[in-house]
Structure 1
Amino acid sequence: MGQLKGKKVFITGAEQGIGFHSAKTLIEAGCDIYIHYFSGTEGPEQLVALAESLGQRAAFGYANLTKADEATKCVKDAVEFLDGMDILVNNVGGIIARKWLGEIEPEFWQTVIDVNMTTMLNVTQAALPYLKEAKDGSSIVNLASLAGRSGGHSGSVAYSMTKGAVLTWTRSLAAELGEFGIRVNAVAPGLILGTRFHNQHTTKESADETVKGIPLARAGTPEDVARTITFLASEYDGFISGATIDVNGGIYRM
């Protein structure tokens, strides 16, 4: 595993939950970081204060990443602040709402695609020239989901479809970008409580029922996923690429 001290990270959607804790863990590993946010600055402000207390550099900026021009500007701001980019963490995503097949309107379908896939396209395209320039190779980590493996629960067909696409996107980019020394991997979390996603879209009864089927007999935490993202980020000079690590307590096994 490579050393992360002094590495330059751009992470999307780090206001709370998995994104926040991933940024925190990367900072604690020694990274300088630029934090994208969409819906609040409290988390990014805490992360900047943490980085500065450790003698490291951190800043944050707003963008609607479904819009290519805003994504490009946010990446440019990050690169100017960091003076480069070694690691990209594509964390932005969401279910938007639970809708069954007969309830899905074209506008909803497109919104789910944009939030989970178009954001990843826009950011990765904008970041690509800088990742190619990283002197020791670079690392992209994409946030997928157990839903992309298993199909998810009822009412998540659109979301599950996009997260399955993230798995294929990751494998395809690993093949395409390897010649530039860019590793591309994904993390597929299962039931991770303490996030906005599950606070809004998962009932306690549903979570309790899911936990009954998890071999480790507990739900995951954002810290569980953050450690995995940090490991894959550290593989900027390693040999892992095109892989997806499942973080689900053993409920889904490949």
Structure 2
Amino acid sequence: MAQQQTAADWPKIADLEGKRILITGASTGIGAAAARAFGANGARVGVHYNASRDKAELVARDVEAAGGKAVLIGGDVTKSAEIKRIMAEAAAGLGGLDVLVNNAGGLVKRIPITEYDDAIIDSIIDLNVRQVAHFMREGARLLIAQGTGGSIINLSSVAARVGGGPGSVLYAAAKGFVSTATRGWARELVKHKIRVNAVSPGVIMTPFHERYSTPEQLAVMQTGIPMDRLGSADECVGAFLYLASERLGSFVTGQILEVNGGQYMP
């Protein structure tokens, strides 16, 4: 697995300097790595968190130490009223918005179909589908009102392609929604010069797998990866930098960018 990169390691993309970027779920994992990389490019980064304020504060310090500006924004993304407040605080703190990264989400719980109940179904859909749709709505409204275009990057998963591992079918289906909706939203918003894409990670060693996957499950997953190793959060970051940059990604919209070591090749 690759080592965590420092500010000096990230490529410098000139047009990201000063960009106003909100990343949901930025206190740990892929969101935190993306925040640090955008900070190293001189961006203004809204570091959103829910329960992990202490970890978000560490990320914010890293963003500023790397040369960016960080704005901490707390809130529960499963509550629609909170989403409106999060977006308003981000716009106020950042001075507007150029890039929205819908990174927040989670497995919630591995559970077989025979044990589904209303509570688990609702919790997985709320965290991985409903909040993404709400953030898309609020982000689109803000970017359209500004009239300057922008980029929205959603987080999908290789699970959307293969149906998920043991007990994670609902999560995989939710990520399938994200991938499909990303393409539709891209078509709808292109007339406003808003690009909509998604990053689809494979098996990435973050708190997600530390919490939900056993060493034995991870070993089995690794056997299906041609690179024969698990990925790191830092190895996903280049995709976010590329899709956020108008210089690099200006003709890219409606795409699902796979970052999985060859685990799935569409």
TM-score, normalising length from structure 1? 0.95
For residue 54 of structure 1, report the CA deviation from its aligned partner.
4.2
The count of aligned residue pairs is: 253
Does the alignment pair 1:234 with 2:245? yes
- Within 5 Å, give how 1:67-106 maps onto structure 2: 67-106=79-118
Using the alignment, how far apart are the partners of 1:3 and 1:55 within structure 2? 15
- Within 5 Å, give how 1:167-182 maps onto structure 2: 167-182=179-194
Counterpart amino acid of 1:213? G
- Within 5 Å, give how 1:67-146 maps onto structure 2: 67-133=79-145, 136-146=148-158
For residue 206 of structure 1, report the CA deviation from its aligned partner.
1.3
For residue 57 of structure 1, report the CA deviation from its aligned partner.
2.0
- For the 8 Å contact 1:174–1:183, the answer to whether it is kept is yes
Secondary structure (helix, strand or coil) at the match of 1:73 reads helix
- For the 8 Å contact 2:36–2:66, the answer to whether it is kept is no
- For the 8 Å contact 2:153–2:198, the answer to whether it is kept is yes
- For the 8 Å contact 2:41–2:67, the answer to whether it is kept is no
- For the 8 Å contact 1:8–1:31, the answer to whether it is kept is yes
- For the 8 Å contact 1:86–1:134, the answer to whether it is kept is no
Secondary structure (helix, strand or coil) at the match of 2:15 reads coil
Which residue of structure 2 lines up, in the alignment, with residue 201 of structure 1? Answer: 212
Does the alignment pair 1:27 with 2:39? yes
Counterpart amino acid of 2:142? Y
Which residue of structure 2 lines up, in the alignment, with residue 247 of structure 1? Answer: 259
Query: Deviations for 1:50-79, whole angstroms, at most 9, x for unmatched residues?
Result: 333344321111111111111101110110
Using the alignment, how far apart are the partners of 2:50 and 2:20 within structure 1? 21
CA gap 1:30/1:136 in 2 versus in 1, 3 angstroms = farther
- For the 8 Å contact 1:2–1:235, the answer to whether it is kept is no
Gaps of 5+ in 1: none
> Which stretches of structure 1, 4 residues or more, deviate above 3 A after TM superposition?
133-136
Counterpart amino acid of 2:187? A
For residue 126 of structure 1, report the CA deviation from its aligned partner.
1.6
Counterpart amino acid of 2:118? P
Which residue of structure 1 lines up, in the alignment, with residue 170 of structure 2? Answer: 158
Query: Deviations for 1:175-198, whole angstroms, at most 9, x for unmatched residues?
Result: 0000000000001111101x1110
Using the alignment, how far apart are the partners of 2:22 and 2:257 within structure 1? 20
Which residue of structure 1 lines up, in the alignment, with residue 233 of structure 2? Answer: 222
Does the alignment pair 1:187 with 2:194? no
- For the 8 Å contact 1:67–1:122, the answer to whether it is kept is no
Counterpart amino acid of 1:214? I
Does the alignment pair 1:47 with 2:59? yes
Query: Deviations for 1:99-134, whole angstroms, at most 9, x for unmatched residues?
Result: 111111111111100000111112221222222245
Secondary structure (helix, strand or coil) at the match of 1:21 reads helix
Counterpart amino acid of 2:166? S
Q: CA RMSD in A?
A: 1.6
- For the 8 Å contact 1:65–1:122, the answer to whether it is kept is no
Using the alignment, how far apart are the partners of 2:101 and 2:213 within structure 1? 25
- For the 8 Å contact 1:183–1:235, the answer to whether it is kept is no
Q: What fraction of aligned residue pairs are identical, expressed as a percent? A: 36
Using the alignment, how far apart are the partners of 1:55 and 1:203 within structure 2? 38
Segment drifting more, 146-155 vs 176-185? 146-155
Gaps of 5+ in 2: 1-12
- Within 5 Å, give how 1:53-72 maps onto structure 2: 53-72=65-84
